[in-house]
Amino acid sequence: MAIRPHLQRVNERRGRTTAAHTTLPGTGYCTPSEAARILGLSVHTLEKWRRAGYEGIGPKFRMHGRHVRYDPRDLLEWSESRARS
């Protein structure tokens, strides 16, 4: 698997050749910070939408133990569903 482009640049600047997180969007799950970057939102906004009072507003997410994860396909589907003409 290839390293995500943004991590590749960081590693090159730091003189590293590998990264701890080596999945590509669409082949694994995203952390909330990665999901926020993909959608152009803040991590706080995603966190707020996950709360019970905002259920159904934000994109689908999964709990892996105590960790929140997003499927990149769900992020793109959610974004497309909000498109306006």
Residue 2 lies in a domain: no
Residue 46 lies in a domain: yes
Count CA within 13 A, CB hemisphere, residue 79: 13
Number of domains making up the chain: 1
Residue 24 lies in a domain: no
Residue 81 lies in a domain: yes
Q: How far apart are CA 61 and CA 44, in angstroms?
A: 15
Residue 13 lies in a domain: no
Its domain, for residue 48, covers 29-85
pLDDT digits (tens, 9 = 90+) for 13-70: 665 544 444 444 446 899 999 999 999 999 999 999 998 778 789 999 999 999 999 9
Q: Give strand pairing partners of 69.
A: 62
CATH number at residue 37: 1.10.10
Residue 67 lies in a domain: yes
pLDDT digits (tens, 9 = 90+) for 53-64: 787 899 999 999
pLDDT at 67: 94
List alpha helices for the chain, DSSP H.
5-14, 32-39, 43-50, 72-81
Residue 7 lies in a domain: no
